Amino acid sequence: MKQTELQALLADMSLEEKIGQMVQLTGDFLGQEGIVTGPEGRIVVTPEQARLTGSILGVSGADKLRAIQEQVLAGQPHHIPMLFMLDVINGFKTIFPIPLAQGASFEPELAKRGAQIAAAEASAAGVHLTFAPMLDLVRDARWGRVMESPGEDPFLVGAFAEAMTKGFQGDKLSDKGKMAACLKHFAGYGYPEGGRDYDNVELSERTFRDAFLPGYRKAVEAGVAMAMTSFNTINRVPSSANRWLMRDVLRGEMGFDGVLISDYDAVGELVSHGIAADDREAAKLAILAGVDIDMMSPCYLNHLQELVESGEVEERLIDEAVMRILKLKNDLGLFENPFKDADEAEASRLILCDSFRREAREAAAKTFVLLKNEDAILPLSAAADETVLLSGPYCTERRICGAWSFPDTYDNIPNVLERVAEGLSGSALKAEYAPGCSVTLRGSILKDKPEEGMTHEETEKAIREAAEKAAGAGKVILFLGERFYQTGEGSSRTELSLPGMQMDLLRAVSSVNPNVITVVFSGRPLVMTEIEQLSKAVLMVWMPGTEGAGAIADVLLGKREPEGRLSMSLPFAAGQEPLYYNRFRSGRPRFSSEDIKGYKVGYIDIDYWPHHPFGYGLGYTEFTCSPVKLSADTLEAGGSITASVTVKNTGKRAGSETVQLYLRDAAGSVVRPVRELKGFTKVRLQPGECREVAFTITEEMLRFTRLDMRFASEPGDFEVFIGHDSLTENKAVFRLQA
């Protein structure tokens, strides 16, 4: 449709019909069961209202959605097609590692390719829009939804925001295999007090602008089609009622011109927040704030029409919202082809196809972070004539995709025991297996339902048997981890530890065999201190997705190297949270630019500094980095300088190094972070090979929200750090001229 045709369509629609486009329901209201991710609704929908509904969420399947679309087109007065939306977070059916793990790859192209594969599968299954990417900056590992974010750094989040948006959407939304993306959650949702999901967010406007907005901005610049309001408050105003945030910042300053949708019942929750007296007032606040679609609340459905008819809400606000919705449907090509790519045969051909599985396996290995590798115990030597004991609950666990993954079945997801046995076939290494324990004890209550694991007595026996086998083995590999739904929405935790009986298994096995390799599955940073003390090697594999088990076998056996670098800092204790590398300096004791580890503000019983910092990770070879060399000592406005180092592989096998660039403002009109990531690149080098790595530094990279609230740079000295992680002290100094 041309724009003039859309305008004519809008002009001919009744008010009731227009409001229907602004309502989103689950498929249940149209007689289709789907995935319900929020609280139970309190919505009563008449057949007439259902007929006018503009979009549904939580349903997939080409034939199912084609049937719904046919039903809608037959009953809708202007035959306006419906939008089908779904949470496709880190894959549709071929599931990639969780987004936090993808951030650890430091390869935005990996996330882009994962989004392309997800879009191809989901669009063939009839889905038009995904509620991704999640771009909330995360700095508190207690918050369960850290798993959905690329990490703790604004620059890293921004790079992945752009990559994922382009991966889902491509060059044109109507193209085959493409779907619309939705940035979420706008804004600041990732920093709730105490790490408690849905809780209040307290941020200064300066920190909010400099640290939390950049990721969202990158998605907007990449042309993201939709944005979602967050559950939290900003400056004590819930996002779905925050006119300044949505109209002034998102649309005015950032230039977002797409559709704005609330999160699940977030408009209705304005009443719970205490900012609206009832659903009617909630509807008024949300439309005035600029919310185009009310997801799963009765507020717009029951009250928007009377608000317009009473004169309390101008109808032009309705028209603006509906035009954005119609434009999105038009951009997807739904007026010409309301079924878009929905095709059962194509879905069957694409979903979990061999090539997608291979790519998921290759991607997973790039996200694994090797935290320790004493005596180079990894990779395992296939030539060694010894027995390796495999133990722990994640030997046989198939639920390794993350809490926001919805495979049709876990039966087609390989487990580690199968893949390691396959990898050892024909080698001199012999594998034995002992369960050791289950992920959690039977009867433990997680996510409001009892676990089905071993009893306490069964666990004690299984640990004894594992220890007996470990005593006679050359090496032991323990596969431990959180239950997959211990992270995700509503899964905040006060302890960042493994279940107790898993630690008992590790203690028992390490007491009889010093050669323990521990592989840890998780959706968040965990306290790893005791795990590292009792293990010669520790490999963090996150929730690695459909082909994660194969990738783990590849890395353990040396077919692939672990390439991941931490996208969130690992704490010594949960009490350190929130914890992040680019914090602010303090006046007492004085910060030493010569020794960043000397920054001791905080506690008397533990170091402030993380156990492992942002950007940290080992490989199977070693690298050196030359001193930083600058092309000039001064930077002129409008100009640039080059900072470079020479990286050398000093080990005995080929490997990849993630070279990271950090900048530090020596003095500003407001306190500045100790350093900020401003660039990164991966280099793959053969043994003995050297390569120069160069970064371009411009004045734009030095800008921040100054004391006068202008986003601009200030003249003065800047330090350039280039090295292996955020603790590097390899630096040079330049001056920005006025």
Catalytic residue among 136, 140, 210, 263: 263
SS in 3 state form for 407-425? Answer: CCCCCCCCCHHHHHHHHHC
Place of tokens 């990286």: 647
Q: Does residue 690 sit in helix, strand or coil?
A: strand
> Which phi and psi angles does 417 have, rounded to 5°?
-60, -45
In 3D space, the residue among 545, 540, 496 whose CA is nearest the CA of residue 517 turns out to be 540
- ∠7-12-17 over CA atoms, to 5°? 105
Q: Does residue 357 sit in helix, strand or coil?
A: helix
Tell me which amino acid residue 273 is. Answer: H
Tell me, rounded to whole angstroms, the distance of Cα 665 from its chain centroid.
29
Tell me, rounded to whole angstroms, the distance of Cα 391 from its chain centroid.
29
116 - beta bridge partners? none
Q: Is the dihedral of CA 277, 280, 282, 286 positive or negative?
A: negative
- The Cα-based distances of 524 to 104, 248, 495, 538, 567 in angstroms read 12, 34, 11, 16, 10
Tell me which amino acid residue 173 is. Answer: L
Q: Do residues 642 and 695 make contact, with C-beta atoms less than 8 angstroms apart?
A: yes
Q: Do residues 88 and 354 make contact, with C-beta atoms less than 8 angstroms apart?
A: no
> Which phi and psi angles does 534 have, rounded to 5°?
-95, 5
- Segment holding 102, helix H or strand E: helix 99-104
In 3D space, the residue among 649, 646, 482 whose CA is nearest the CA of residue 561 turns out to be 649
Q: Do residues 632 and 641 make contact, with C-beta atoms less than 8 angstroms apart?
A: yes
Q: Does residue 664 sit in helix, strand or coil?
A: strand
Place of tokens 């077919």: 559
For 647, the token pair is 């990286």
Rg (CA), the chain: 26
Q: Does residue 111 sit in helix, strand or coil?
A: helix
Rounded to 10°, the helix 315-331/279-289 angle is 70
Indicate the burial class of 681 (C-beta count within 10 angstroms; 0-12, 13-18, 19 or more): middle
CB 325: neighbour CB atoms within 10 A? 23
In 3D space, the residue among 159, 222, 161, 211 whose CA is nearest the CA of residue 661 turns out to be 159
Q: Does residue 450 sit in helix, strand or coil?
A: strand
Q: Do residues 24 and 261 make contact, with C-beta atoms less than 8 angstroms apart?
A: yes
In 3D space, the residue among 270, 293, 260, 279 whose CA is nearest the CA of residue 23 turns out to be 293
Give CA–CA dist 311/540, Å, rounded: 58
In 3D space, the residue among 268, 259, 220, 201 whose CA is nearest the CA of residue 241 turns out to be 268
CB 688: neighbour CB atoms within 10 A? 10
Q: Does residue 387 sit in helix, strand or coil?
A: strand
For 116, the token pair is 């392309």
- The Cα-based distances of 53 to 57, 225, 304, 333 in angstroms read 11, 20, 14, 19
Q: Is 375 a catalytic residue?
A: no
Q: 609-623 as b/e, with b when 16 or more CB fall inside 10 Å?
A: bbbbbbbbbbbbbeb
- Segment holding 18, helix H or strand E: helix 15-21
Q: Do residues 56 and 27 make contact, with C-beta atoms less than 8 angstroms apart?
A: yes
User: Which pairing describes strands 516-521 and 537-540: parallel, antiparallel, or unpaired?
Assistant: parallel
Q: Any idea which residues carry the catalytic annotation?
A: 263
